[in-house]
Amino acid sequence: MGRWWQGAVGYEIYPRSFADANDDGIGDLAGITERLPYLEWLGVDAIWIAPFYDSPGYDHGYDVADYKAVNTIHGDLEDFSALVAEAHSRAIKVIVDIVPNHSSSHHVWFQEALKGRDNPYRDYYIWRDPALDGGPPNNWVSHFGGPAWTFDEASGQYWCHLFLPEQPDLNWTNPAVRDEFDGILRFWCDHGADGFRIDVAHGVMKDPQFRDNPQRAAITDPEDPSDVFNAFDHLYDLDQDATIEVYQRWNKVVAPYDAVLIGESNPRTIDRVAGYVREGSLHTVFYLEPAWMVWEPSALLERLEAVDISAETGVSWVIDNHDTSRSPTRFGGGDRGRHRSLAVFSFMAALGGFPFLWEGQELGLVNAEIQAIDLEDPISTRNAHGKGRDGTRSVMPWDDSHANGFCAGATPWLHAPDRMASETVAGQENTENSWLLKHRRLLLLRKTLPDLWETAAVWSDQLDGPAKALRRGDVIAIANFGDSPVAFDLPDGHWNLRFDSRFAATGSAHIGRVEVPAERTYLLSLVS
Ligand code: NOJ
Ligand code: CA
């Protein structure tokens, strides 16, 4: 018997932006519950809800002040229970987002820790004495700009934060922290959660000696946090081998609940991806590089093949999430970018594992244009040149009424121009060959082709560079991301074209050879 996530497709929800049931301009759990019929119709098997816990919101929920409470802006625990009950009645699993690398500075643990070196909670966080010159203990930088250390005048020590100073890093060498999180995992499983997306899963352990990261490139723009971050080899602040022990422990905690553990990881090299999904640790891991890449067909396919082979069925494939520029924008914009986005996602649907859509991806949404004055993301608001994430986080366009049907009369929390009617769910759900119906067809078709996750992949050596193909049992997937057609020699038999990323509905039979047009993915199955 396979586990429930084998063959499943997930859908990421950013609760602030998905649906607002009480019309205060901020999305909520009750809004998600109201939209579950849509997700069932779309064919998703699981939703991952980004953090909805008590939080002051410096990082819009990724700064958790109480891991066992619902932020009142999103509802309460009863709303969560109602959501779970409704989702389960529609055979949709509910995955919550857990944030173990850091808490909010408002968390009672940190407030206690600030009281002094002898406080029992002091060791829940990472404190270091200043360097000899009084500066930060090492050269680590925050993902969101500035050093990864902030000085606490009262105690004369620095605290570590890989993100904002208001997101102090927890000390995972402290057994008490490990015990706390065992309890948090059980709490959400007891409330019906079917799994966890683990934020910054690769960050929880740090180098025991807190060594400086080697610098690999010059910093060209000190006001752009990603430029600064990428100037270093993150040998010592992230992706430590000991991380896996934390998830081996979690694996045992969630096993009685049959809950899935999905890591957000950003390993230094792709051959380290598989390290997170060794037996008895995480069940799948997000491989995030494709969600950051622009249109680079050969590089993309080369990496997909390498990761698929090294970590087969253990990968959660994505090209979009709440942190990156939307894929149609990154892949060239407009309809061309949308076609490319679906071509990549449909090939990912053939890579085993547990792929995820990001809300609005199914509509082919491009980034929203947000005015400078309306920016909300701390990456933009706290740095002169920070390339923030607001463009992908604007509200879900349901129809062409006020605020695209997200809320009735209020102003959405993130101000953005309304989408055109043709970009909305209502504008696409009955329109032949719309982006929405093509994505839906892909999801429904995948359910009928279990070879796509039950059978090991054999990558073909016929194609290379911007085109690649693989076979899983009686299914062949051919990705041609290049700018001219390619021919592929089929194995013996009649092969039915089941999915064409440009037109979705097909059915033509092929014997011997099939030609795949430029920037397209084909899925074919053997006619028995
Ligand atoms: C990754 C999350 O996806 C992102 O949104 C968040 O800002 C950081 N982790 C810090 O929690
Ligand atoms: Ca609301």
High-pLDDT (> 70) share of the chain, %: 100
Closest-lying ligand 1 atom to the alpha carbon of residue 62:
11
Is 410 contained in some domain?
Answer: yes
**323 CB under 6 A from ligand 1?**
yes
The predicted pLDDT at position 104 comes to 99
Query: For 99-203, where are the alpha helices, taking DSSP H only?
Result: 108-113, 175-190
Query: For 255-361, where are the alpha helices, taking DSSP H only?
Result: 297-310, 327-330, 334-348
Residues 18 and 132 in one domain: no
pLDDT at 309 > cutoff 60: yes
Closest-lying ligand 1 atom to the alpha carbon of residue 323:
5
pLDDT at 82 > cutoff 70: yes
What is the average pLDDT score of the chain? 97
pLDDT (mean) for 337-363: 97
pLDDT at 476 > cutoff 90: yes
Closest-lying ligand 1 atom to the alpha carbon of residue 321:
3
Residues 371 and 428 in one domain: yes
Residues 94 and 116 in one domain: no
**97 CB under 6 A from ligand 1?**
no
Is 2 contained in some domain?
Answer: no
Is 130 contained in some domain?
Answer: yes
Query: For 58-129, where are the alpha helices, taking DSSP H only?
Result: 77-89, 108-113
Is 169 contained in some domain?
Answer: no
CA angle 413, 415, 417 (to 5 degrees): 140
pLDDT (mean) for 211-224: 97
**342 CB under 6 A from ligand 1?**
no
pLDDT at 313 > cutoff 90: no
Confidence band for 437, pLDDT divided at 50, 70 and 90: very high
CATH number at residue 260: 3.20.20.80
Measured in angstroms, how far is the CA atom of residue 200 from the centroid of ligand 1?
7
**Separation of alpha carbons 348 and 276, rounded Å:** 20
Indicate the top mutation candidate among 48, 104, 323, 379 to test ligand 1's pocket, ranked by most ligand atoms within 8 A of CB.
323
Measured in angstroms, how far is the CA atom of residue 33 from the centroid of ligand 2?
12
Closest-lying ligand 1 atom to the alpha carbon of residue 102:
11
The predicted pLDDT at position 279 comes to 86
Closest-lying ligand 1 atom to the alpha carbon of residue 163:
10
* For the CA of 169, the nearest ligand: 1
Measured in angstroms, how far is the CA atom of residue 19 from the centroid of ligand 2?
8
Q: Whose CA is nearest to atom 4 of ligand 1?
A: 323
pLDDT at 46 > cutoff 90: yes
Q: Please report how many Cα atoms fall inside a 13 Å half-sphere around the Cα of residue 173, on the Cβ side.
A: 12
Q: Whose CA is nearest to atom 10 of ligand 1?
A: 62
Q: Whose CA is nearest to atom 11 of ligand 1?
A: 62
pLDDT at 528 > cutoff 80: no
Indicate the top mutation candidate among 52, 200, 286 to test ligand 1's pocket, ranked by most ligand atoms within 8 A of CB.
200
Residues 285 and 365 in one domain: yes
Residues 31 and 84 in one domain: yes
pLDDT at 1 > cutoff 60: no
Mind telling me the catalytic residues? 199, 264
Measured in angstroms, how far is the CA atom of residue 355 from the centroid of ligand 1?
19
> What is the DSSP pairing of strand 509-516 with strand 486-500?
antiparallel
b/e string for 205-215 if b means 16 or more Cβ within 10 A?
bbbeeeeebee
Measured in angstroms, how far is the CA atom of residue 221 from the centroid of ligand 1?
22
**390 CB under 6 A from ligand 1?**
no
Closest-lying ligand 1 atom to the alpha carbon of residue 63:
11
Residues 154 and 181 in one domain: no
- Give the residue from 420, 443, 466 where a domain finishes: 443
The predicted pLDDT at position 506 comes to 75
Residues 188 and 334 in one domain: yes
pLDDT (mean) for 68-91: 98
**377 CB under 6 A from ligand 1?**
no
The predicted-structure confidence for 366-411, as pLDDT tens digits, reads as follows 999 999 999 999 999 999 999 999 999 999 999 999 999 999 999 9
The predicted pLDDT at position 504 comes to 81
Residues 481 and 512 in one domain: yes
CATH number at residue 116: 3.90.400.10
Measured in angstroms, how far is the CA atom of residue 20 from the centroid of ligand 2?
4
Mention every residue, 6+ apart, whose C-beta is less than 8 A from residue 225: 141, 142, 143, 144, 145, 379, 383, 386
pLDDT at 501 > cutoff 90: yes
pLDDT (mean) for 470-483: 98
**59 CB under 6 A from ligand 1?**
yes
Crossing angle of the two packed helices 435-447 and 334-348, in degrees rounded to 10: 10
Is 386 contained in some domain?
Answer: yes
**169 CB under 6 A from ligand 1?**
no
**Separation of alpha carbons 328 and 341, rounded Å:** 6
Q: Whose CA is nearest to atom 6 of ligand 1?
A: 62
Residues 182 and 96 in one domain: yes
Give me the domain span that covers residue 119.
108-160
Instruction: Count up the domains in the chain and report the number.
Output: 3
Q: Whose CA is nearest to atom 3 of ligand 1?
A: 323
Task: For the full predicted model, state whether its pTM sits above 0.85.
Answer: yes
The predicted-structure confidence for 234-266, as pLDDT tens digits, reads as follows 999 999 999 999 999 999 999 999 999 999 998
Confidence band for 211, pLDDT divided at 50, 70 and 90: very high
Residues 377 and 308 in one domain: yes
Residues 369 and 500 in one domain: no
pLDDT (mean) for 182-199: 98
High-pLDDT (> 90) share of the chain, %: 97
**163 CB under 6 A from ligand 1?**
yes
Is 297 contained in some domain?
Answer: yes
CATH number at residue 516: 2.60.40.1180
Structure tokens at 384: 């002169």
The phi, psi pair for 7, rounded to 5°, reads 90, -5
**20 CB under 6 A from ligand 1?**
no
pLDDT (mean) for 430-434: 96
**80 CB under 6 A from ligand 1?**
no
pLDDT (mean) for 316-332: 98
Is 166 contained in some domain?
Answer: no
Is 244 contained in some domain?
Answer: yes
Residues 113 and 97 in one domain: no
